């Protein structure tokens, strides 16, 4: 399994109010909520709307594909 890099996305506890980065979602992400964060483009995907779990699955699948090559 490949090691983690500093620009890998991760789950964080939100410190500032934001909105989900998924197009056509715009669900509010409140302070203290968990969100999946992409540091490279500063995108937050909320856990309440389910887009955070989808983004985590997509990234995990990408990591697995990368490990097999």
Q: Is the dihedral of CA 9, 11, 14, 17 positive or negative?
A: positive
CB 37 within 8 A of CB 9: yes
Model confidence over 29-62: pLDDT tens digits? Answer: 999 999 999 999 999 999 999 999 999 999 988 8
User: What pTM, to 2 d.p., does this model score?
Assistant: 0.84
11 vs 8, 64, 68, 69, CA distance in Å? 10, 18, 24, 26
Residue 2 — pLDDT band, cuts 50, 70, 90? low
What does the domain layout of the chain look like in residue ranges?
A: 10-68
- In the chain, alpha helices (H): 51-68
């Amino acid at each position: 399994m490949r090691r983690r890099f500093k620009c890998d996305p991760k789950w964080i506890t939100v410190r500032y109010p934001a909105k989900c980065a998924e197009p056509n979602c715009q669900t509010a992400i409140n302070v203290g909520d968990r969100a999946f964060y992409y540091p490279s483009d500063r995108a937050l995907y909320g856990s309440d709307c389910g887009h955070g779990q989808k983004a985590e699955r997509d990234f995990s699948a990408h990591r697995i594909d990368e490990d097999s090559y």
